[in-house]
Structure 1
Amino acid sequence: MFYCMFETILFFFILQNMCRFILRDIYVSAFIVTILFSSMHLLNSVTNAVFTLGLGYIFCILYEYFRIRFGSMISIIINFAYHFLWNMFAIFTFPVLIDGL
């Protein structure tokens, strides 16, 4: 749970905000942050990195949507909840899927 919170704050709050401020483009900054987020997950496996590439981009766009609509703090809480739920789903589902193959 600590890693989930750390990743959410580092990537979606700090890096996403810095990239958006510098580049002035939500989608390009989300893509750059997603590449960084995914590359960190390469330490686990290539499959994990591919999943996080797609899901990380969705999380970045959701962060921006909720940031614009409700503000940064609510957006961080919502993204942390998505991230935490995804991690719980992945922990309990993917080992079963991999063992079944």
Structure 2
Amino acid sequence: MNQLHLQAQIQQLGQVRYTPAGLMALDASLKAESEVIEAGKPRKVSLEIKAVAVGELAKQLQTLGVGGVAVFRGFLTHQRNGRGFIAHVTVIEPAAPQEPGNH
């Protein structure tokens, strides 16, 4: 199953564009930093990933703006040029409050 669940900050927003069906689409760059447990040990992880939101979700993404933090749910697929992956956002939820020193 291909599912993405990522709390991230919006690093960059692209220009609004429209799909052939006339739906608003917005590209973004998301950055996530957190601490996870791997093999019983804490590990700090960080990643940046390109993302796209379509329709009402594009408007939500635009409203959050650069620096906005949320939980993004969706799926991953190859970019059109075949280089890397892109997250297709299907749900945007408010981010849970961070505990001090844990992000």
| Coarse TM-score class (shorter-chain normalised) | under 0.3
Q: TM-score, normalised by structure 1?
A: 0.27
Higher helix share: 1
Bigger Cα Rg: 2
Q: Which structure: greater strand fraction?
A: 2
